[in-house]
A and B are shown apart, each in its own frame.
Chain A
Amino acid sequence: MARLIAHLDLDAFYATVELQRRPELRGLPVIVSGSGPRAVVTTASYEARRFGVGSAMPTSRALRLCPDAVLVPPDFEAYRAVSQKVMTLVRGTVDVVEVLGLDEAYLDLSGMHSPKAAMRRLVTQIREQTGMSASVGIGPNTLVAKVASDAEKPRGFVVLTREEACLRFAHASPSLVPGIGAKTAEKLERLGITTLQQLAATPGEVLAQHFGGRQGPWLRSRARFEASDQITPVRVAVSESRETTFDIDVTDGEELAAALRRLSENLCDGLARHRRSGRTIAIKVRLDDWTTVTRARTVEQPTNDVEVVYDVARGLLCEYAPSRPVRLLGVRMATFADEAEDAPRPPGGQLALPW
């Protein structure tokens, strides 16, 4: 049976949620981002993108590109709630779903009756019930689907076979393909390879010489839009972490401890909400010279108790005793307890009134 995969991507998700909550910002360039000097853009509305503002760009730079942009602090609670609604609708249409984040998912449409019509209905349903607009890409594997969903954003709906994808993106830069980043693209360019077509036509051995026996052939297969046609329905996070980059590098031990406390509280809050607890507590410290270290300790009993987590984290920090000003501090929890024994009642155990 031929495989058919869809990639569904909500358009400017965080910005759209914010616009929904604050209609007065509609039509304005909106950037969702923290406000400190080292904040980066979480997402930008299409009005802001027109100025060249993009995700993960330092906010300071985004504001230089688009000085009139309205900065909105991110509110992940709200995004999660909307995301959950969307994903519920998605699961109502498709059985096998791999949720990739709050705003995107792979859907396995293999064997589905009139899959394109079903996806169009789903997009309409999502728009009507949540106000979110989505772009959809459909193809024989995850890579084609993902690139297709991105091709005509916002509100795109692109269906491609692998061969069509190769043709359509023949002259695009290799960095169009997820997995080929700026560094690799640069290196390819030095070899005279500037398009996907060229990359696909480059013999595997040549690429292997420059990129090694694994990455070389892999790059070529990416350019030929060959990828897995299987999706992984459940993604269980293996760890959860919180980190913060200080506006000004911190030397003071008390101040570091306070930050660690806040991060621990935040982390435990999130863990408790998902009824998870873990045994391995780790800290991450980045110094002003970008030296980055992690230190971890495993405790006997799974926990999400902030006192325990903070205690261990603080101990780890004291032992490491940063020798230079600290730029970034993080706390991570891993080795989660079996979730089943953690959750005494099944989800949906609480019955609800019909509204």
Chain B
Amino acid sequence: MKLSTTSSELLGQLQTASRVASTRSAVQALSGVQFQATADLVELRATDMEVGLRIPLAAEVEREGTAVLPARLLLDVARQLPSGSLTLELRPAEQDVEIICGPAKFHLRTLRTEDFPPLPEPGGDQIVHLPARAFTETIAKVARSASRDETRPILTGILVSASGTELRMVATDSYRLSVKETRLEVPVEAGFEANVPARALQELERIVASGAEAETIEIGVRANQVVFRAGDVVLSSRLIDGQFPNYRQLLPETYEHELNVAGDELVGVVRRISLMAQKNAPLRLSFTEGELTISAQTPDVGEASEPLPVPFTGEPFEIGFNPDFLRDGLESVESGDVVLKLISPLRPGLIEAGDGSGFLYLIMPIRLNV
């Protein structure tokens, strides 16, 4: 294999690929990134057996072939290379790859190509095309609620479903739950539902947001695998087994209080006051006639409070929330009014987009020891 490209192109694509490469696998080749050079295409491939990624590298191929290089090390090298053109050549006899960039010359030992698994081709039993922006924006709304606790695999996924003109994603870490429903202009041909690891979707979102030129995302769902294709990029992921929690039965049917609040104002106050909620201290929301006072206090650090006019009526009450969880929910609403729905201090609260854009965020309170 021999190819020439530029150091900035290599760095750019490698930054994406190396995020997918495994950091702690028993199989060394999985910590690598595979170069596959064919006459008309050079592809970088990385996988940790859960998520697989194939991205193109703009390069001129002098000799076809394939090689696996340690991702982390190659990335460090690429970062330090002078800008300009570079050549990358596999030297089978030496079992290394020679990289020449300007006056700099590197020889990197290769990892075993045989150990690098083949990655799925796009397509599948069931293929759906969805507008790329709608899809990734929906991901961005809910991804933060997915759990990072690997001992509860089901919650580390985002439940993605599409049918008719509706795309829906749901994520929860059991402290909060995000649901985003996005209306599709063109109904999907065949509906599907799959629990996709959040990190795979977040990677997809990043790739599309950072300029993969793709109008649509092709989604191929198989028995235990999903393959996304956006332009030249192919991202595949294992699906998560098991029953995703039935969240619908948990959404309270009625609420005691339903308040329309200007979203940006509320987010501003929450961000400010949160600064004084350190070491897991809760954010306190005290509701009295016509007013919401948000306060926080951390022993030995300090305290803060700020009132905000809200259309509240009835018995005053106080509810506590994790400041980060509350902020995540409010920020996901983005602009316009926020509808805050509450029942009592120990019942879940609901944050909704006031513009009917189909976003809702259920958040569990923190018990306040008054």
- Spell out A's residues near B (CB within 8 Å): 21-22, 24-25, 30, 70-73, 75, 78, 81-82, 85, 275, 341-346, 348-355
Contacts and interface: CB of A to CB of B under 8 A. Distances in A.
Interface string B137-160: 000000000000111000100000
A72 B26 contact: yes
B172 A353 contact: yes
Please list the 8 inter-chain residue pairs (A to B) with the smallest Cβ-Cβ separation, ordered nearest first.
A355-B245, A81-B151, A351-B364, A70-B26, A352-B174, A349-B367, A344-B281, A349-B366
Given A78-B151, A344-B280, A351 B366 contact: yes
Nearest to A18: B26
**Residue from A22, A70, A343, A355 having most chain B Cβ neighbours under 10 A:** A355
Given A72-B26, A341-B299, A350-B367, 12 more contacts: A30-B26, A73-B24, A275-B279, A343-B280, A345-B280, A345-B281, A345-B282, A349-B368, A350-B364, A352-B174, A352-B175, A354-B250
Interface string B143-187: 000000111000100000000000000001011010000000000
**Residue from B297, B298, B362, B369 having most chain A Cβ neighbours under 10 A:** B369
A25 B26 contact: yes
B365 interface: yes
A355 to B, nearest CB: 4
A353 B348 contact: yes
A172 to B, nearest CB: 36
B322 interface: yes
**Residue from A30, A72, A81, A344 having most chain B Cβ neighbours under 10 A:** A344
Contact of B174 (A25, A345, A346, A353): A353
Contacts of B26: 22, 25, 30, 70-72
A30 B25 CA distance: 12
23 contacts: A22-B26, A24-B49, A30-B26, A72-B24, A82-B151, A85-B151, A275-B279, A342-B279, A343-B279, A343-B280, A344-B297, A345-B366, A345-B367, A345-B369, A348-B367, A350-B322, A350-B367, A351-B346, A353-B175, A353-B348, A353-B364, A354-B250, A355-B155
Nearest to A77: B150
A81 B150 contact: yes
A341 B299 CA distance: 8
A353 B24 contact: no
A22 B49 CA distance: 10
B195 to A, nearest CB: 13
Interface size class of B (residues with CB under 8 A): 20 to 34
A348 B282 CA distance: 12
Contacts of A350: 175, 322, 364, 366-367
B174 A349 contact: no
Interface in B250-308: 250, 279-282, 297-299
A86 B83 CA distance: 54
Contact of A353 (B245, B282, B299): B245
B150 A78 contact: yes
Contact of B364 (A24, A275, A352): A352
B324 to A, nearest CB: 11
Contacts of A346: 367, 369
A42 to B, nearest CB: 14
A82 B245 CA distance: 21
Contacts of B299: 341, 344
A126 to B, nearest CB: 14
B32 to A, nearest CB: 16
A191 B71 CA distance: 59
Interface string B335-370: 000000000001010000000000000101111110
B22 to A, nearest CB: 11
Nearest to B149: A81
A351 B365 contact: yes
Contacts of A344: 279-281, 297-299
Nearest to A352: B174
A344 B281 CA distance: 6
Nearest to A355: B245
Contact of B282 (A72, A85, A349): A349
Nearest to A78: B150
B144 to A, nearest CB: 16
A293 B353 CA distance: 61
A350 B324 CA distance: 12
